[in-house]
Every structure is written in C-alpha cells, then in structure tokens.
Amino acid sequence: MFRSPPGIRLRIAVLLGVLVISGTGVFAADVAKIDQAVERAKKYLLSQSKSSAAGSLACYSLIKSGVDKEHPDIQRCVQEVVGKCRTTGYVPGSHYNYEAGVDAMLLEAANREKYKPQLEMIAQFLIGRQRPHGAWYYQIEIGGGEFGDTSITQYAILGLWAAARADVEIPIEIWERAGKWLLMTQRRDGGFGYHPVDPRLGGVNNDAMPTMTVAGTGSLLVIRHVLFRDTAIDESPRPEVAAPVSTKRFGVLDRMVDDKEKKAKAKTKANATMSAAAFDKAIKEGMNWTGDHFAEPAALASYGNYYFYGIERMGALLDVEKIKTHDWYNEGADELLRRQLNDGSWNDSCGAAPATALTILFLTKATSSIINKTPKVRAVVIGGGLLVGGRGLPDNLDAIKIKEGEVSKRKIHGAVDGLLAELEKSSGAKVEEAQEAVVEAIQLDNPEQLIGQVERLKRLATDKRVEVRRTAMWALGRTGNITVAPYLIRGLSDGDESIAREASVGLCILSRRPNGCGLPTDPIEGLSDEASDNQRAKHLETWRKESTRGWTDWYMKVRPYDERDDRTQLKPKP
C-alpha cells in the first residue's frame, strides 16, 4: 500500500507569533530547472501503466501540472473510478480509504460538475467509514476500534474536501469529529504519531514523526478552511453601514456570517460548534514542530516525497513562504531536484509512480491552485470567535474606537484571575472587553488557568448580566471539573437562548460526548424561520425540558460519590 499523504488563505501565521518569519529564503531554486524536472516527471508518468489508487494519484498530478484532462490516460483512469460507483454505492479496491480519497480528488479535478453523482457516492463511503472517535483506519478492524491512522485520516479528509468543492453536502459533524480526534491525539510537543490511540479510551500517543506531523497539521488546516473559510483570528472586515442585526441564537464562540456565506454553507445544515481558535493553537504547535525538524533525515529516509507534499499543503493553506526559518518551497525544491532519477522519476517507499506524482504536486504548488480558485467568503470573527452583535460591531458601541477610519477594539490584558475580576466588576462597555479577553486568554494562552477559578465561575453563572452568564457557561464547560455540571444543566433553562446553547456546548465538552444527550446542541435547530412567536416558545420549552432531563440522567450516573447520598438529587420513582 502506498503511503502518500499525498486554499482560502487563513493568514493566521503572523497572528500566531513565532510560527513564521518573513523574508527572502537562503535557498532559491532555479525556476527553469523546476519546469524541466516537472516535464521529465510528466513524461515518466505518461509512460507508465496507471490503475487503482496509484493511477488516480498519478492522473491527478498530471491534471494539476497542466496535462489536458481529455488525455486518453487520464480518461481511462477516470472511467475506472466511475466504474467503482455502482448501484450499491462506491466499491474501492485494496487501498480502501486511501483509494477513496485520491479517487475523489481525481474526479473533482477532471470535472466536478459531470462527476458530482460519483463524488457523492465516494463521500458517503468515507462518511460511513469514519470511526466514532473521528478518525479513519484500515478496512480490517484492529485493536477494538480505539486506533486511528493519521495518514489514512489525511486522505479521507482530502477526499471529502474534493467532494465539498463539487458542492457535495458533507455534514458539519464529520469535519468536527475529525478535527476533535486530531486535537486530542496531537502530542504535547506539537507532533503527531502514526497510529495514536483514542485518549478517551486510555491510549497514549506514539512517537511524533515528521510525515505524520505534516499530515495531522495539514488536516487541521483543511478542516479549519472548510469550517471558517478566509477568517483569521483578530481579523475583522470594515463594518457595513447597516442597522445592527440581532443574533441572540448564537453562543460566545459562534460567529456572525454575511449573506454570501450563509448561502455557501447552507449545505452543511448547521453552524460550527468549534471555534477557529481551537484549531489555531494546535496548528501553531504542529508548524513549530515541523520547523524544528524540517527535512531531517528521518523525514526524508522512507517517505520524503510524501512528506514534501504535506509541507506544500501547509504552506499553501497558511499562505506563508517560511515555516519558522525555513523557506519551505525553495529548500524543498532544491532537495527534490537533487533526488530526481535519470528517467525523470522519484522513488521512495510509496513506490516510483506515487512518489513522482507527489513530487509534481509539490513542485507545481497544487494546493495553492485549489485555494486560488475557491470563492472567498468573509465571516466576522472577533478574537477567538467571540460573538458580536450586528455585522462586525459589538452590541455596545462604546466598546470600540475609531483609528484612522478603521474600527478597532479596546484590549484588556492580564492573567485569567485578573480578567475574571475585571468581568465581575465591569458594567456597560467593559463587559464585552473583559469577555473577549477571557476567551482569548483561555483559548490561546493557557487553558489550565481555569483551574482554581471554578467557584468564581459558578458565581458568575448566576450574574444578572447576560454576557457575563454567557461567558461563565463557556468557561465552565472547559474546566474539566465534573462538579460544574449542575450549573451548566441549570443554564439550559436560562431565559436567554444563547446562554442555553452555550451551556449545551459546555456539557458536550465537559462530558466528552460530541453528540451530547441525543438532542441538537442549538436550542432552535429545526425551527422554521417562519415560525410564529408561539411556535418558537413551545419549541424552546420542549428543548429545554428534554435537554435538562437527558443531561440530568447523564450526571446522575457520573456524579462524584460524595454527592450520591444527597436525597435531593434522587429521581422519584414512577
């Protein structure tokens, strides 16, 4: 089996501190030599027989390097993939999930409109093979289901991304489930292992590997792109001159979207429950690990060509020229040109054809071409995704200031302890400042700072101010302290539905149950936009009662032993 890990410009690089350093690279690969190398590689691939997953990858690289899509070799491979799409669904060969991923990539590149039905079949196949914890693995179950494969997961994500570009509907929970698995299995040093065990089942990550770190980080970048498009932390477009629009249905970490994005994301059937900032910290750490181990012998020994294609995807999605001090493209191109064989191919443990295809994808910057053709959609994100009222403006306009004609936000800085104290005493304009600072500090700096703040957060959860209660619900869900569950459960019945939603999300995070108690996370999910006030009220009342019942049943089973003799907690017998 070949191991081939093989944009939306996120522009989070500068915002992630030391992640990248701008400037001209020390290396400067010769453009003419790169073009010559690509031409020789294309001739090599065209001279080889192409079938199965390796054939799809080869033809995908040929399309990306400019070969006519109608070339007979490419069309033969395309028709082979179409033949796998039967009345019973997509049926891959022995490479299974890998094969599904590259088959989808090929069909989308060949003709996304024409082959949309087949892309839908492949997407359904991949969705059906995602493990409950969010990863993908081999066809044969090993280890009782607790394992995931970072490399296979990468190709499943690439295949789903290709299908999504053809307007195939991919449920948002598929992306989020994969993202959560990657976040959970990333090592403390920022690297990724090959077959990490789901930590919820007591597993320990295996050693970090260069190839798997670029695969894991690149997958996080793709998911972030799908969920958040062009948004970047602290990036706020100039506000529109329009009346503010109330958005009380959303919680602290949800974002305002403009009309274009609403249409673009309508097919997801839901809004992201995760925040961009949840990805950004992990991406920063993965990129830093990659920069510290860039092109080390371990990275190039067996799967060097696979590795460099992963590097290209990271660089393209971040829209950076450097990964830390490394000019990733020029250094990579120089290394690859030295490794090209006399027949125009490259060869590593993937095999000659896959290795050559992966190298072509790197040298031609294939991911950049995808990103540049993707319609850009703007979403308003403040801080780590903090909700603001209106279109880009806080509910309280005193919380902003104008500088050189641009809207900017005042900042409050300090440790979480000090920030919560500020939130306790703030009123009016400063509530939003303190709220945003708390969220950013916890998400981007040190989530462990919540330890020791539980009692204070419990008090804030009953504050008379909506924004304070909302922030408290958000933070309580991230304390990891089971004793806060009753406060979150009470929050489900809060009169403000945005707080009820934040409490619901918090319980999902605290319990490590992405699907919650079986009810929608959003209290008004499924409610028609044309619903009357009476219908809306009844819908919310039903959601609150059923959510409270479901989460109470969960808490009764897991609550601390010192609470189990509290008769007030016992449910009456029917």
Cα angle for residues 99, 284, 330 (degrees, 5° grid) = 70
Residues contacting 397, CB < 8 A, separation 6+: none
Full set of structural domains in the chain with CATH = 129-380 (1.50.10), 451-569 (1.25.10.10)
The pLDDT profile of the chain, 574 residues, written as one tens digit per residue, is: 444 333 334 444 444 443 443 333 334 568 899 999 999 999 999 999 998 999 999 999 999 999 999 999 999 999 999 999 998 899 998 889 999 999 999 999 999 999 999 999 999 999 999 988 899 988 765 555 677 899 999 999 999 999 999 999 899 889 999 999 999 899 989 999 988 876 655 555 678 899 999 999 999 999 999 988 755 533 332 223 233 333 333 344 433 334 334 344 434 445 677 778 788 889 999 999 999 999 888 778 788 899 999 999 999 998 888 998 999 999 999 999 999 999 999 998 889 999 999 999 999 999 988 876 544 332 222 222 333 322 233 333 333 343 333 334 444 444 555 556 655 555 544 555 555 555 655 544 455 555 557 777 787 778 777 777 887 787 787 777 888 889 989 989 888 888 888 888 888 888 877 677 778 877 877 777 777 878 888 888 898 999 999 999 888 888 776 655 554 444 444 4
What 3 state SS string does 497-534 have? HHHHHHHHHHHHHHHCCCCCCCCCCCCCCCCCCCCCHH
Residue 17, judged by CB atoms within 10 A of its CB (0-12, 13-18, 19+), counts as exposed
Paired strand residues for 377: none
The pTM for the full model equals 0.59
Q: Where are the beta strands (DSSP E) in 386-515?
A: 400-403, 406-409
Whole-angstrom distance, CA of residue 141 vs CA of residue 138: 7
Q: Which amino acid, one-letter code, is at 469?
A: R
Whole-angstrom distance, CA of residue 489 vs CA of residue 473: 10
Whole-angstrom distance, CA of residue 238 vs CA of residue 260: 16
The pairing of beta strand 89-90 with beta strand 85-86: antiparallel
